[in-house]
Amino acid sequence: MKTPEELRSHRWFGGDDLRGFSHRARARQLGYGPGEHLGKPVIGILNTWSDVNPCHLHLRERAEQVKRGVWQAGGFPLEFPVATLSETYQKPTPMLYRNLLAMETEEILRSYPIDGAVLMGGCDKTTPALLMGAASAGLPTIFVPAGPMLRGHWRDEVLGSGTDMWRYWDDRRAGLIGEQELSELERGLARSPGHCMTMGTASTMTSAAEVLGLTLPGAASIPAVDSAHHRMAAASGARIVELVWEDLTIGRVLDERAYADAVTTVLALGGSTNAVIHLIAMAGRSGIPLSLADFDAIARRVPVLANIRPGGAWLMEDFYYAGGLPGLLSRLTGLLHPERVTVSGRTLGETLETARVHNDDVIRPLDDPIAPEGGIAVLRGNLAPSGAVIKHIAAEARLLTHTGPAVVFENHADLRRRINDPALGITADSVLVLRGSGPLGGPGMPEYGMLPIPDRLLAEGVRDMVRISDARMSGTSYGACVLHVAPESAAGGPLALVRDGDRITLDVPARALRLDVDDAELIRRRAAWTPPATRYERGYGALYAQHVTQADEGCDFDFLARPGRNPEPDPR
């Protein structure tokens, strides 16, 4: 156990010298008396709340509950507002700014008199960004997930945010519903604070944070507005104080076993393809090697047990009542590492001793899974030498082995402009190809990967086609969408060489993605290819373009992902 003199904050507030005197005087200026903070763990609460982020609308209130827990445990809480990364509003994509929030998190934790951190987030990019920064900073850390919103409702139907948005928008394009129905759907799709209640990126990543051992048990699936969420926030505040005294740092929790268990869990959840990028980046910050090959190897032995949209039938609120993540993990114990430590102070196995499943349709038994293999497949071939991914459990089975002619779009603007052009001759057998949408080309790798099906085909009843891009896709989306093609087209990857009419073969069982064009022709095309013009001449965009890695490496900045010393500041 640490002593008060061993606290990191003591370097700021302790000592009989000018800087200690100055720091204590400024604490008095803030209105804090000596007994409130001296000799106590200083807890930094990093809050991603903002007026423009509906996923985090309640986090201002939750921060007060975290503070309550910190005070009750004898700590001293300080709240820090950090970048909010609203998936719904930030353009061109919050993925462009994930690394910015990670940098902000690391530097705030490093540069202020903070002994332990409470990270508050949930909207897609906030969870990995906060955890990446915290992993680099290395302090005792606990994560408070924002929690899923309540189920959506429209007339007599239960709605899932994102998933049913895509579905009903296609119905509107096909002429099956009109403006009245659309107006009603707008009012019923998202009914409360909280992130998407499907197994999109938000629920996938908060679940990953829990299985990594960085939340209290069961925290990830509590609905945002449930009173249990209030209690979890307060309990997390109390626990972080204990973590500081115990010196249980984030680095002691995030080992190779933790990341293997996170991959296993994401696959068993039928989770978002975005988790592949984020977990690779997070593992890199922890100094743990993690690759697409690891995802593919684990996927072949992990069944999908969570019957949650878009790959299943239920929603996160149902998942919570069915036993939540502890319930699901209790059915995977033979595939996990139960002996490893978590921020609860108990091992993973000990936290699961009382876990139960209360609905076998929401969380399936091992002998009755949604799918016998994990919900994400890694593809390779001459079109994706460094890999690509597909969420095949959310695609029509007939398309998992498919060969068809390419119809190529240079970027998202070109796609929007021409997708309904009858001169393209798009049929249900065509392979829609979008390039210019990766980390460099997007920029920031936007969620363009669920390419729209032409209106004419929607009206004919077509609801899925093979689509290939170097973009990402919302975790709430569905379809036979091949994503994260690496290297991306803007970096000279083979996707840049595809032409209209080229035959492309997708073979998910064989994990293959192939451009059926001979090597000599591809060499000729490459010789004629020129890289796109630089998009940003200054600012953060220029920094991003100079240092971002490709999708298979996690899209982190190379100077943040590499190992190396980053010394503690001298507060004197």
Instruction: Write out 108-153 in H/E/C secondary structure.
Output: HHHHCCCCEEEEEECCCCHHHHHHHHHHHHCCCEEEEECCECCCEE
| Residue 329: both structure tokens together | 């993990």
Residue 499 clears pLDDT 80, i.e. is over it: yes
Q: What percent of the chain is predicted at pLDDT more than 70?
A: 100
Specify whether the CB–CB gap between 187 and 305 falls below 8 A: no
What letter represents residue 452's amino acid? P
Instruction: Write the pLDDT tens digit of every residue in 39-80.
Output: 999 999 999 999 999 999 999 999 999 999 999 999 999 999
Class of residue 203 by CB neighbours under 10 A (exposed 0-12, middle 13-18, buried 19+): buried
Would you place residue 133 in the very low, low, confident or very high pLDDT band (cuts 50, 70, 90)? very high
What mean pLDDT do residues 423-450 have? 97
Q: For residue 141, what pLDDT is reported?
A: 99
What letter represents residue 13's amino acid? F
DSSP string, 264-283: HHHHHTT--THHHHHHHHHH
Instruction: Write the pLDDT tens digit of every residue in 186-216.
Output: 999 999 999 999 999 999 999 999 999 999 9
* Helices 126-137 & 274-285 angle (0-180, nearest 10): 10
Compute the half-sphere exposure of residue 427: CA atoms within 13 Å on the CB side of its CA: 5
Residue 17 clears pLDDT 80, i.e. is over it: yes
Residue 113 clears pLDDT 90, i.e. is over it: yes
What mean pLDDT do residues 426-437 have? 98
Residue 325 clears pLDDT 90, i.e. is over it: yes
The DSSP code for 194 is: S
Q: For residue 335, what pLDDT is reported?
A: 97
Strands in 116-121's sheet, in edge-to-edge order, are: 76-81, 42-47, 116-121, 141-145
Specify whether the CB–CB gap between 497 and 485 falls below 8 A: no
Specify whether the CB–CB gap between 399 and 466 falls below 8 A: yes
Cβ atoms < 10 Å from Cβ of 503? 13
B/e letters for 366-380, b = 16+ CB within 10 Å, e = fewer, are eeebbbebbbbbbbb
Q: For residue 15, what pLDDT is reported?
A: 87
Residue 297 clears pLDDT 90, i.e. is over it: yes
Specify whether the CB–CB gap between 379 and 468 falls below 8 A: no
Q: For residue 163, what pLDDT is reported?
A: 87
Element spanning 343, H or E: none
Compute the half-sphere exposure of residue 498: CA atoms within 13 Å on the CB side of its CA: 36
Cβ atoms < 10 Å from Cβ of 283? 25
Specify whether the CB–CB gap between 277 and 472 falls below 8 A: yes
What mean pLDDT do residues 13-41 have? 96
Element spanning 175, H or E: none
Cα 265 to Cα 215: distance, rounded to the nearest angstrom: 15
Q: Is 228 helix (H, G, I), strand (E, B) or coil?
A: helix
The DSSP code for 112 is: S
What letter represents residue 272's amino acid? S
What letter represents residue 70's amino acid? V
Residue 571 clears pLDDT 80, i.e. is over it: no
Q: For residue 566, what pLDDT is reported?
A: 87
Q: For residue 476, what pLDDT is reported?
A: 85
| Residue 181: both structure tokens together | 């129905």
Specify whether the CB–CB gap between 123 and 278 falls below 8 A: no
What mean pLDDT do residues 112-131 have? 98
Please tell me which residue, 394 or 100, carries the higher pLDDT value.
Answer: 100
Cβ atoms < 10 Å from Cβ of 321? 15
Q: For residue 565, what pLDDT is reported?
A: 85
pTM: 0.97
Element spanning 565, H or E: none
Cα 257 to Cα 259: distance, rounded to the nearest angstrom: 6
Would you place residue 109 in the very low, low, confident or very high pLDDT band (cuts 50, 70, 90)? very high
Q: For residue 475, what pLDDT is reported?
A: 86
Peptide bond just before 487 cis, omega within 30 deg: yes
Q: What is the dihedral of CA 414, 416, 419, 423, to 10 degrees?
A: -60
Residue 552 clears pLDDT 80, i.e. is over it: yes
Q: Which residues contact 144 (CB under 8 A, 6 or more apart)?
A: 62, 66, 118, 119, 120, 215, 219, 232, 233, 236
Mean predicted lDDT score pLDDT of the chain: 97
Give the closest residue to 112 by CA, choosing from 242, 234, 11, 248. Answer: 11
Cα 481 to Cα 432: distance, rounded to the nearest angstrom: 9
Would you place residue 382 in the very low, low, confident or very high pLDDT band (cuts 50, 70, 90)? very high
Give the closest residue to 328 by CA, choosing from 348, 343, 313. Answer: 348
Cα 145 to Cα 194: distance, rounded to the nearest angstrom: 10
* Helices 163-173 & 179-188 angle (0-180, nearest 10): 170
Kindly list the distances between the CA atom of residue 48 and the CA atoms of 70, 104, 146, 184, 222, in Å, as whole numbers in the listed order: 19, 12, 10, 30, 18
| Residue 74: both structure tokens together | 């004898």
Q: What percent of the chain is predicted at pLDDT more than 90?
A: 95
Full 3-state SS string of 472-541: CCCCCCCCCEEEEEECCHHHCCHHHHCCCCCEEEEECCCCEEEECCCHHHHHHHHHHCCCCCCCCCCHHH
Q: For residue 570, what pLDDT is reported?
A: 84
Q: Which residues contact 29 (CB under 8 A, 6 or more apart)?
A: none
Instruction: Write the pLDDT tens digit of every residue in 342-375.
Output: 999 999 999 999 999 999 999 999 999 999 999 8
Q: For residue 338, what pLDDT is reported?
A: 98
Instruction: Write the pLDDT tens digit of every residue in 134-173.
Output: 999 999 999 999 999 999 999 999 999 988 998 899 999 9
Instruction: Write the pLDDT tens digit of every residue in 451-487.
Output: 999 999 999 999 999 999 999 999 888 899 999 999 9
